[in-house]
Structure 1
Amino acid sequence: MVDTRIASTYVQLLFEYLQGQGLDPVQLLGPAPGADEHFVSLPTWQRMLRRVDALEQRPALGLRIAEGVAARHFGVVGYAALACSTLAEALLRLERHHVAVYDVNPATIHEQAGCLVIEWGVERGRPGALVDETAIASLVQLARDMTGRCLPVQAVDFVNPAPADVRPYRDFFGGEVRFDRPTTRVVIAPTYLALPLRKSDPALLALLDQQAEALLARVAALPAAVDHWRRALVPLIREGRMSLAALADSQHMSARSLQRRLAEQGMSFQQLLDRTRQHLAEGHLREPSLDLAEIALLLGYSEQSAFTRAFKAWTGESPAQWRKLRQSEASS
């Protein structure tokens, strides 16, 4: 396969599974990835899964691992998904940012016969049953965790050959499970797409907002009204609702009134948004534990490339260049 990788939080999930089985994951697999290691290579992940599978010699390892999944195992992407109002919105957000978690084969979402279909091809190779089953089962389990409902899927397709016993798969997914298919797919019935999320980690979402507000507190002071609006933008940016109307609604005023009040302070909404994003970006870039893709997501960008273009327009440097220069300055 070409150079592919998965988020190191998947390794954390595997370590937690082993600990739950009374096993020492470090002794079995070696040290966990460091705090600054955002990804592990696909071959590394494959070796880990094969080692555990050979030890346990039980079917459906990926399904058992996935049972412990939560938003934190999807990193910032998982937390951002919790900010969505419905399961459909959360799944769309996960699809847009899947490379920050599972950079193997590209994912697409489309509608078919009224159902939502999430599909992975084999353009970049076939990672194998253990990898595929862990990833798909984790996604389904995350949807259940976010909604608080043990929702069955309409159907699941895998590109890999059928295992000797398919019953554990039917029991886990609750719908039709097929193997030896041309693509890997998860089909979700429309009944479940409008389910509200139970926001199972509100403390984590609040923490993200508090961290963002702390970053803003370090930059130049602004008039009280403008600073208030800037802080109100923080959750809207994270949720991807960056419009004058959304900010005005959060302040219980009309868009026209907010626009007029911003003008009185010598500022447009776009200037406020750009400056807020820039200040947040610079603060996040000083935090080595955040990957550029995660920072782009926290700033409401659907793609890292869009964040890079915007940051270069603000500062004249790419985010990677800006980070490297500041790190050099800090160490000198």
Structure 2
Amino acid sequence: MVVTRVAASYVQLLYEFLEGEGVDAERVLGLPPSPQEHFVSMSVWQAMLAKVQALDGRPALGLRIAEKISPRHFGVVGYAALACDTLADALLRLERYHASVYDANLAQLQITPKGVCIEWGVSRGRPGALVDETAIASLVQLARDITGRYWPITEVAFVNPRPDDVTCYEDFFGCAVRFDQPRTRLVIAAEFLALPVRKTDPALLADLDRQAQELLARVSAVPASVEAWRRSLVPLIREGRATLAELSALHHTSPRSLQRRLAEHGMTFQSLLDDTRFQLARNYLLESSLDLVEMALLLGYSEQSAFTRAFRHWTGMAPAQWRRQQLSQPQAQAA
């Protein structure tokens, strides 16, 4: 039996929806996921939505929940989407790391004559209308939010039965919505893919950068200039712009001058970048609940496998193996 999950940050959206409706969310749903929980099982998520539906009683609950979505509810994946230049880039990033937020049925993205098509099959089960509608509407709302404007979807289809009234669905998506289809399907017109992404969640970006910089500050002392370069690398790393030219520009110097100053400390740009990534990776593994996909994103790697290869080069171990070994040491010493 396949066990599927949703991200705890995504579940938090339901609590905020209820509070916005003037309902005591904890009374209805119990305590929210703890900061240490990264995932909530799909069965728990289904039960939560069912409780809210029974309490609310109105149609299209998933659409109304989705209207409250923001990048932070998608965790590091939402954060990564904000670092993209265009909607097309953000959708590709969301597809690649989809499973770190919602792994019921994995998304498949393809180019069609109508535009970009994102499809979800049923190979891992049918979570139900509430789960599907909340997920698809949340993705659409996020895409509209990060581009800063409403735009109609070209095509929407659900595997679930047709509800009595589809008016609210057509109003939300801006197109005809089909039900009882073999696959859940979303088509976005090509004309919207070039829309620039607004960097409109500075609190999320600042919080993650602050955490990264605090982790670096706890590493053994280094000269002030090296510490300044490390701190400047944090946003460059997460945005995939960690190059000598970009770092030089931030410090108002030429690449050649920065290379010379690095050499005075016995370093190269690559060694500075590798050391910064390594220090961040070690601390993320020991002091956070991030999974490896999220760590790879924060460290500027395009794929988890690239992060794993780099970490194995640094330590001789895969990240998960290193984490288990480090976390078991205090227990072993206590025994």
What is the alpha-carbon distance in structure 2 between the residues aligned to residue 184 and residue 285 of structure 1? 36
Is 2:60 aligned against 1:88? no
Once the 2 structures are TM-superposed, how far is the Cα of residue 100 of structure 1 from its aligned partner? 1.2
- Relative distance call for 1:196 and 1:252 in structure 2 (3 A) is farther
Any idea what the Cα deviations from partners look like across 1:188-243, whole Å, max 9, x if unmatched? 11222222222221132123223222222332444555444433321121112344
Counterpart position of 1:292? 292
- Relative distance call for 1:317 and 1:58 in structure 2 (3 A) is same
Once the 2 structures are TM-superposed, how far is the Cα of residue 96 of structure 1 from its aligned partner? 1.4
Once the 2 structures are TM-superposed, how far is the Cα of residue 248 of structure 1 from its aligned partner? 5.1
Once the 2 structures are TM-superposed, how far is the Cα of residue 168 of structure 1 from its aligned partner? 0.9
- Relative distance call for 1:235 and 1:20 in structure 2 (3 A) is same
How large is the Cα RMSD of the aligned pairs?
2.4
Counterpart position of 1:206? 206
- Structure 2 residue runs of 5 or longer lacking an equivalent are none
Q: Aligned runs of 1:55-94 on 2, under 5 Å?
A: 55-94=55-94
Once the 2 structures are TM-superposed, how far is the Cα of residue 140 of structure 1 from its aligned partner? 0.7
Residues 114 and 187, structure 2, Cα contact 8 Å, conserved in 1: no
- Relative distance call for 1:249 and 1:157 in structure 2 (3 A) is farther
Residues 97 and 302, structure 1, Cα contact 8 Å, conserved in 2: no
Paired positions, count = 332
Residues 292 and 304, structure 1, Cα contact 8 Å, conserved in 2: yes
Q: Secondary structure at the match of 2:287?
A: coil
Q: Secondary structure at the match of 1:117?
A: strand
Once the 2 structures are TM-superposed, how far is the Cα of residue 328 of structure 1 from its aligned partner? 4.2
What is the alpha-carbon distance in structure 1 between the residues aligned to residue 248 and residue 109 of structure 2? 32
Q: Quick check: 240-249 or 209-218, which moved more?
A: 240-249
1:11 alignment partner AA: V
Counterpart position of 2:35? 35
Q: Aligned runs of 1:1-332 on 2, under 5 Å?
A: 2-113=2-113, 115-222=115-222, 226-244=226-244, 246-247=246-247, 262=262, 265-329=265-329, 332=334
Once the 2 structures are TM-superposed, how far is the Cα of residue 41 of structure 1 from its aligned partner? 0.5
What is the alpha-carbon distance in structure 2 between the residues aligned to residue 247 and residue 186 of structure 1? 39
Q: Secondary structure at the match of 2:91?
A: helix
What is the alpha-carbon distance in structure 2 between the residues aligned to residue 20 and residue 68 of structure 1? 9
TM-score by length of 1: 0.89
Once the 2 structures are TM-superposed, how far is the Cα of residue 318 of structure 1 from its aligned partner? 3.0
What is the alpha-carbon distance in structure 1 between the residues aligned to residue 69 and residue 256 of structure 2? 44
- Relative distance call for 1:129 and 1:258 in structure 2 (3 A) is same
Once the 2 structures are TM-superposed, how far is the Cα of residue 72 of structure 1 from its aligned partner? 1.3
Identity across matched positions, percent: 65
- Relative distance call for 1:221 and 1:121 in structure 2 (3 A) is same
Q: Secondary structure at the match of 1:187?
A: strand
Once the 2 structures are TM-superposed, how far is the Cα of residue 7 of structure 1 from its aligned partner? 0.5
What is the alpha-carbon distance in structure 2 between the residues aligned to residue 256 and residue 118 of structure 1? 45
Any idea what the Cα deviations from partners look like across 1:159-196, whole Å, max 9, x if unmatched? 22211111111000112312222221221112222222
Q: Secondary structure at the match of 1:110?
A: strand
- Relative distance call for 1:326 and 1:144 in structure 2 (3 A) is same
Residues 96 and 302, structure 1, Cα contact 8 Å, conserved in 2: no
Residues 13 and 73, structure 1, Cα contact 8 Å, conserved in 2: yes
What is the alpha-carbon distance in structure 2 between the residues aligned to residue 221 and residue 140 of structure 1? 46
- Relative distance call for 1:144 and 1:330 in structure 2 (3 A) is farther
